[in-house]
Amino acid sequence: MNLIHKAMKTLFIPGLFLLLMSLASGLYNRYIYIPKVNAIEKKYDELSFLVHQEMQNTQTLIGNVIIVTAVAGFILCIAPVVKTKISHSVIGILCALGAILLGLMPGAGIFF
């Protein structure tokens, strides 16, 4: 029993790391990257279509990377909950849901 508990904790730690990295990337994308690109887009009116297309492509790419890392972290955090009922893995699952939402927002055009 103790060996399974250690193995599940070993799964939880990298999962939580992945989730925190994807959550930080999502927050950076939302609050730093998007406002900077919007300012550049307003500055250059003649190239605004090209800048807008590049901005959309980059936001979608960043969102996809965030979603993939959040899903990987979610899988690594849900295994300990299912197997051994480790309660602190629920924190990782909640971070995963937030990171997935942050990853979906730019691609879907949802901005708060």
Mean pLDDT value of segment 24-47: 79
Tell me: pLDDT of 108 over 70.
Answer: no
Look at residue 55 in the predicted model and tell me its pLDDT: 77
Domain parsing of the chain, residue ranges = 2-30+61-108
Contact present, 19 and 66 (Cβ < 8 Å): no
Closest CA to 16 of 98, 103, 101, 93: 93
